[in-house]
Amino acid sequence: MRPPLRYYVLDRGDQLSVDLAEQFHTLAAQHHFEMDAESPNIVISIGGDGTMLHAFQTFIDRISDIAFVGVHTGHLGFYSDWKADELPELVELMSNSILSEDIPPRIVKYPLLELTIHKKSGTTSHIALNEFTLKGVDGTLVAQIDINDQLFEMFRGDGICISTPSGSTAYNKSLGGAMVHPTIEALQIAEIASINNRIYRTMGSPLLLPKHHHSDIYSRKDQRLLLTVDHKNFTIDDLISVSCQVSKQKISFARYRPYPFWNRVRSAFLEE
């Protein structure tokens, strides 16, 4: 028998998501799950992908102890396996899994992106589930990109997007980046509208860096910059550099039924 299920629910805040969260609490009480806001072992996100990004960032300090489950209340979310009307089935499967080690969930782990932002005013660290982006606020971003401490290129353009494998289907996809299966521990650097002419040149293709490689992006002019980490953004004017690498930590998802990555891609992008 597994240890008791300690859960927490985050919802998007719209009426359907709030109602479903209530329904979850009712069903969970019937199965003797414990609600635990401080140290849950399962976090249920009810809403969309943005809700899962929010749930991930909320529990960022405890992600090695948590498995996430997504319920979508709008169109199919990339991180959400369960539809609104499947909540009773989900809770039943969760309950069964406590009774026997042989019953799912299978824990699926996805790679994350680790960032260290060096500013004249100090250094901060972040972890992204989808991506990090760097953009110029007042005009062209001018930045030097190094790979493994060697100069790679001088970038001029709208910005740079560095994504995780599971984030490769989000912003990265809109930039022409490749979709990367999350068993591949890598980060992807994609350009956002680079300037390419006789004077300025960038590679122009998305780059996939393996685990243990790293990239440093140096600000190369006085410029206000917009930085995003998943759904959060902030503006700074004293950036020195950003160091990016595949994180040693991973996010865990509890799969109470199989949903292979390529089926997810197909459902999200190709099915009517």
Say which residue the tokens 């996100």 belong to: 45
Residue 1 CB, shortest distance to ligand NAD, in Å, is 34
Q: Any contact of residue 26 with ligand NAD (CB under 6 A)? A: no
Question: Does residue 174 touch ligand NAD according to CB under 6 A?
Answer: yes
Q: Indicate the burial class of 39 (C-beta count within 10 angstroms; 0-12, 13-18, 19 or more).
A: exposed
Expressed in angstroms, the distance from the first to the final Cα of the chain is: 41
* Shortest distance (Å) from residue 187 CB to ligand NAD: 14
Binds ligand NAD by CB under 6 A, chosen from 166, 194, 215, 252: 166
String of contacts with ligand NAD for each residue 196-235, x by CB under 6 A = ----------------------------------xx----
Give the x/- contact pattern for ligand NAD in 115-134, rule: CB under 6 A: ---------------xx---
Q: Check residue 167 for interaction with ligand NAD (CB under 6 A).
A: yes
**Distance separating alpha carbons of residues 163 and 169, to the nearest angstrom:** 9
Residue 261 tokens read as 């990555």
Beta carbons of 157 and 140 less than 8 angstroms apart: yes
Q: How far is CA 103 from CA 1, 69, 177, in A?
A: 10, 16, 37
Q: Which is nearer to ligand NAD, 5 or 67 (CB)?
A: 67
Q: How far apart are CA 127 and CA 118, in angstroms?
A: 15
Choice from 7, 78, 253, 261 touching ligand NAD (CB under 6 A)? 78
Among 11, 17, 20, 49, binds ligand NAD (CB under 6 A): 49
19 is catalytic: no
Q: What's the CA gap between 262 and 82, in Å, rounded?
A: 17
Interface contacts to ligand NAD, rule CB under 6 A: 48-50, 53, 77-78, 130-131, 166-167, 169-171, 174, 230-231
